[in-house]
Chains A and B, each alone.
Chain A
């Protein structure tokens, strides 16, 4: 399914960004795809600001179709309340580099997985105090999650316990380190 996200800023989008030259839009100074990826790489996940939406793996494609930038994103969880905010932030960031009429497309298939999270993203999560996703959930079986080893992002100990299957957001679970006694969030494998 391909659905175009309705723009909240249709009028604003038709205006050139502050300081931009009027002829820039669609003209020869259109940024390259690499520049667009770089720009998106600086958009933080609103709920986990330590990593960008590119490192999170939700930006699926950036292309230019008939002279217009097209960004394909996929939601993490169906109910993620940050989805609308992420779309607005993408538009703003692209406008900063002179792309004011990007088309934003949401795709559901294939569904997002934490396997798409970059190694760099996982490293940054750990640094931020969130344990990165470790294993893929067994769809069929009775819970084995409590038996999974999730090392503490602070002291590295493997002696940790699950406190709750959900943490501060839908994408995280809550753990506690049995050695340093610090509670921490675990980014659930999905």
Chain B
């Protein structure tokens, strides 16, 4: 894959995989309103993922559609960061994952909105408005739970600590990232870490939580989700997501 195509697939896969995870909350949310809200965040991501993967299919030029890319690739071909494929856990885990991802997502889209590729810039400009709202919502919940009861505070702290190691990957750069950054196609992920730390740190402080400081899995990495190396959880997610198309190829309604 060309770096350009890699980028589109990475962006699309983050969206599609996290949308699938959020959809798992339907029928299981702590209250009906949250059920609906989590599904709607997922819906935004799914719409964005479709735009990235449609473009990826066109750029690849082999006639693959968004559906072919989403439903007919195996896990080693997926390029999402590991953070988004992690199981939902409890509501605090889901909101911690969302806080970490949403802020990185917004910073990435703000950079992509200035991309040298006009189509990438257009999609990013549209998506960032939606993601700005996701950021607000995640901030709200983390503050509410962190600065809530003793129980909610403790569980929110556990969640942000547990997911912390997986944040490193979002700010590591491989040869693909570096080439794209040099060409003005995408922002350098390493440059997003400082603004991300400041934004996430402000929320964690307002939530009366302690900012995680662990160094494990931070900094330069040999391989992660962006290179197709995933946790054991992605295969199970795809098995469920892809079942229909695998069992009944080409099925539509």
Chain A residues engaging chain B, CB cutoff 8 angstroms? 1, 75, 77-81, 108-113, 137, 139, 142-143, 145-146, 163-170, 174, 188, 190
Contact = CB atoms under 8 A, between A and B. Distances in A.
B122 A108 contact: yes
Given A137-B132, A190-B129, A163 B33 contact: yes
What is the interface of chain A mostly: helix, strand, loop, or mixed? loop
A78 B51 contact: yes
Nearest to A190: B129
B140 to A, nearest CB: 5
Interface in B117-172: 118-119, 122-123, 125-130, 132-133, 136-137, 139-140, 143
Contacts of A163: 33
B115 to A, nearest CB: 13
Contacts of A109: 122, 125-126
B92 interface: no
Contacts of B14: none
Q: Secondary structure at chain B's binding surface: helix, strand, loop or mixed?
A: helix
B86 interface: no
A165 B119 contact: no
Nearest to A163: B33
> How big is the B interface, by class?
35 or more
Contacts of B50: 78-79
A170 to B, nearest CB: 5
Contact of A143 (B118, B128, B137): B137
Contacts of A168: 36
A182 to B, nearest CB: 16
User: Which of A1, A146, A170, A174 is the most central at the interface, judged by chain B CB atoms within 10 Å of its CB?
Assistant: A170
6 contacts: A77-B44, A81-B43, A109-B125, A142-B206, A166-B33, A170-B43
B47 A108 contact: no
B9 interface: no
Contacts of A170: 40, 43-44
B200 to A, nearest CB: 11
B45 A79 contact: yes
Contacts of A166: 33, 36-37, 40-41
Contacts of A110: 125
A143 B140 contact: yes
Contact of A167 (B36, B118, B132, B133): B36
Contacts of A190: 129, 133
B94 interface: no
B13 to A, nearest CB: 16
Contact of A142 (B44, B126, B203): B203
A130 to B, nearest CB: 16
Nearest to B55: A1
B250 to A, nearest CB: 17
Contact of B130 (A77, A167, A174): A77
Contacts of B82: none
Given A139-B132, A142-B206, A174-B33, A80 B47 contact: yes
B139 A142 contact: yes
Contacts of A137: 129, 132-133, 136
A22 B136 CA distance: 56
Contacts of B36: 164, 166-168
A77 B126 CA distance: 8
A79 B136 contact: no
B46 interface: yes
Given A109-B125, A164-B36, A143 B47 contact: no
Give 3 nearest A-B pairs by CB, closest first: A79-B47, A78-B47, A164-B33
Given A75-B47, A111-B125, A163-B33, 20 more contacts: A1-B123, A77-B43, A78-B47, A78-B130, A79-B44, A81-B43, A139-B106, A139-B128, A142-B136, A142-B139, A142-B202, A142-B206, A143-B139, A164-B37, A165-B37, A165-B136, A166-B41, A167-B36, A169-B40, A190-B133
A78 B48 contact: yes
B87 to A, nearest CB: 23
